[in-house]
Amino acid sequence: MSADGWSSVLVLGGIRSGKSAFAEALVADAPSVRYVATAAGGEDDPEWRGRIEAHQRRRPQSWSTEETGADPARLAEVLADAKPGETLLVDDLGGWVATLLDPAWQPNDDVATVVALAEAVRACAARVVVVSPEVGLSLVPTTPVGRAFADALGTANQALADACDRVAFVVAGRATWLKSAPDEPGIVTDVQAGEATAEATATAAPAARVTAAAARVTAATAAAPLTQQGPLDRQVPDDDDLSGIVIEPGMDLPLPDGDAGPDARDRLDRLDIAGAGIGALLEAVEFAAGTQGTATPRPWGPVRVLLLDGRHGGGVAAGTDAGDADRRAAQAEAGEGALARLAATADADIAVVRVPPSGAMEDGPVLDGAAVDAALQEGWNLAGAAAADGREALIIGACGTGTEGAATAVVAAITGAEPVAILPRVLVPGARYDDEAWMRRCGAVRDAMHRIRQQSRGAKDMLVQLGGADIAVATGAVLGAAARRMPVLLDGPVGIAAGLVARDLASQSRHWCLLADAGTDQLVRQGADVLGLTPVLELGLDLGEGANALAALPLLRTAIALAGALPVHPALLTAPGDGGLGADVAAENGPHEGGYRPGG
């Protein structure tokens, strides 16, 4: 038995009670877990296979899986072979009983098999958590097979409850402890009544415990780090399957997990923290949970900043200095300047992407169709390269000339906003504003909007007529990241414009985007509102596109790490008035709560 008082726990609960999620929470702090799956068959049942596959996707990648469904004797063998220091999660006993009653395994002494399993749990050298359905509260089944299953499962539950150190009963996602100590007596079980060996085991007195009366001083130890090692497994298709994709409206891209985000939100209410929660950072936790497919997400590892150096002609470039844009790009490549310094502290690298120049939007199309397709494909490939290099998220940034005016035109055309209301003011060195240059930009955007008033407003049309090469590359990167299940942190006008165009090419892409900080631009707020993105923070940062997200990234990572690593408060896992597991055992409750699991 471990120092905190238990080596085995039986978790009981009805259908969709949350018992599997609770069991996973008990072992989530273990360095590694062997998940013992007892379900058999289902090959001809797509709905059942879908449930199993969804369950598999939600398990932490560090867990291994062992299937025992084909042979009911295999489960006892797995328990007997387990080594000290291992942690096993058996889910669930109902599948094991169903296999035991299969005609292929009859005739059989089922009671003896149950006794053998209980003894295997009692003697197991590893930590064991067993999940089992509680069928005793429902109506008596009307069929012989149903009655046989209910009787056998009830007998097995009684035997396992006697063998385990602790027993929990889960209802509606809330756990009550039915047995909180290994030697706590219960009623005489069906198996005990028929088996003299079980009675002898029950009456065997355990060694007396010695409790120290003197006060103890616990040595201070370093807490486990919040960050987790190892890359995320995004379960993406082969890059060979993605390389030939044609980027067209109506693309079908994957969606994040629709249940994991709400499950993570619900779990945050029960975390073992002193205060009321993580505030606005909840948005980042829910986003990370959905994109990772787990209610206990881990913070992103290394990220890549795509710094787009685009040049726009005409009035939208009024007040900008091409030489200054060149200097910003050169600084990033040399590891200098604000963006590079922030990247160095945020485990990020920077890819400076120089794109072809775009024409004056007031005079005609800024690119032709072929150039737009090439730019989209380049962005798609840049996302693929980031994924291949082990990057776990993308940040879209820009440092060119005329980019804000081009993004304003795209956002206004897609959202119907008035350009004059969302065009950012023109900032020049010395923290001064050039309002004359701003008016020239307004005029260029106004003339371009007038020019295309009778033309198609499709996604690619927006890039041909207004957006240009940098926004097209950014759009392709958003789509490519979504296809590879990689989160994208939008930051500034170019990123927001690209997110809107990407949404019109593949509606699923917006669900892979996060806006870390609203910044100071009304353009960003307008686009984010149409995209359905809520800014995580309201810091009012204006460090430059890409730099704002990098500045906020450490705080986002910290919130996500806390949400995934902290256990549930022990008061929410014990019944009122019950001493329960105590603080030591509460730490074993681990990070994962909430979310449907097959059999749970």
- Summarised one tens digit per residue, pLDDT across range 229-260 is 455 555 556 665 666 688 999 888 999 998 99
Q: Taking 80 as the threshold, does the pLDDT of residue 524 lie above it?
A: yes
DSSP of 8-67: EEEEEE-TTSSHHHHHHHHHTTSS--EEEE-----TT-HHHHHHHHHHHHHS-TT-EEEE
- List pLDDT tens digits, range 540-552: 999 999 999 999 9
Q: Taking 90 as the threshold, does the pLDDT of residue 376 lie above it?
A: yes
Q: What is the pLDDT, as a whole number, of residue 229?
A: 47
**467 domain-assigned:** yes
Indicate whether 137 and 261 sit together in one domain: no
Q: What is the pLDDT, as a whole number, of residue 256?
A: 93
The amino acid at residue 130 is: V
Q: Are 322 and 367 in contact (CB under 8 A)?
A: no
Indicate whether 524 and 576 sit together in one domain: no
Indicate whether 533 and 581 sit together in one domain: no
Question: Model confidence at 598, in pLDDT bands (50, 70, 90)?
Answer: very low
Question: Model confidence at 556, in pLDDT bands (50, 70, 90)?
Answer: very high
C-alpha closest to that of 396 among 242, 549, 523: 549
Structure token pair of residue 306: 């795509």
Structure token pair of residue 392: 């776990």
Question: Model confidence at 404, in pLDDT bands (50, 70, 90)?
Answer: very high
**222 domain-assigned:** no
Instruction: Name the pTM for this structure.
Output: 0.60
Residue with tokens 């290994």: 182
Q: What is the CATH number of the domain that holds 531?
A: 3.40.50.10210
C-alpha closest to that of 481 among 253, 238, 247: 253
Mean pLDDT of the chain: 82
- List pLDDT tens digits, range 190-240: 444 444 444 443 443 333 333 333 333 323 333 444 444 455 555 556 665
Structure token pair of residue 586: 């509460």
Out of 86-90, 223-227, 378-382, which region has the weakest mean confidence (pLDDT)?
Answer: 223-227
CA dist., res. 54 & res. 596, Å (int): 9
C-alpha 548: how far from chain center: 23
Q: Are 75 and 66 in contact (CB under 8 A)?
A: no
Q: What is the pLDDT, as a whole number, of residue 47?
A: 73
* Average of per-residue pLDDT across 392-406: 94
Indicate whether 134 and 185 sit together in one domain: yes
Q: What is the pLDDT, as a whole number, of residue 54?
A: 65
Helix (H) or strand (E) holding 551, with range, is helix 547-565
More confident residue, 31 or 580: 31
Q: What is the pLDDT, as a whole number, of residue 237?
A: 60
Helix (H, G, I), strand (E, B) or coil at 122: helix
- List pLDDT tens digits, range 255-293: 999 899 999 888 888 888 888 788 899 999 999 999 999
More confident residue, 18 or 589: 18
Q: What is the pLDDT, as a whole number, of residue 566?
A: 82
Looking at the structure of the chain, the number of domains it has is: 2
| Dihedral (CA of 533, 536, 539, 542) sign | negative
More confident residue, 31 or 333: 333
The amino acid at residue 149 is: F
C-alpha closest to that of 127 among 256, 8, 290: 8
Q: Are 415 and 500 in contact (CB under 8 A)?
A: yes
Helix (H, G, I), strand (E, B) or coil at 436: helix
Structure token pair of residue 223: 């807490």
Q: What is the CATH number of the domain that holds 95?
A: 3.40.50.300
Q: What is the pLDDT, as a whole number, of residue 28?
A: 76
Indicate whether 154 and 114 sit together in one domain: yes
Sequence-ordered list of residues with C-beta below 8 angstroms from that of 539, at least 6 positions apart, any chain:
517, 551, 552
**410 domain-assigned:** yes
Beta pairing class for 8-13 and 127-133: parallel
Domain boundaries, position 67: 8-202+567-589
C-alpha closest to that of 491 among 409, 425, 381, 407: 407
More confident residue, 60 or 405: 405
Alpha helices in 335-467 (DSSP H): 337-345, 369-388, 403-415, 419-422, 435-451, 459-462
* Average of per-residue pLDDT across 6-29: 85
Sequence-ordered list of residues with C-beta below 8 angstroms from that of 72, at least 6 positions apart, any chain:
96, 99, 100, 105, 113
Catalytic residue list: 545
Indicate whether 579 and 542 sit together in one domain: no
Indicate whether 386 and 404 sit together in one domain: yes
CA dist., res. 131 & res. 133, Å (int): 7
Q: What is the pLDDT, as a whole number, of residue 69?
A: 77
**356 domain-assigned:** yes
CA dist., res. 492 & res. 516, Å (int): 10
Q: What is the dihedral of CA 223, 227, 230, 235, to 10 degrees?
A: 130
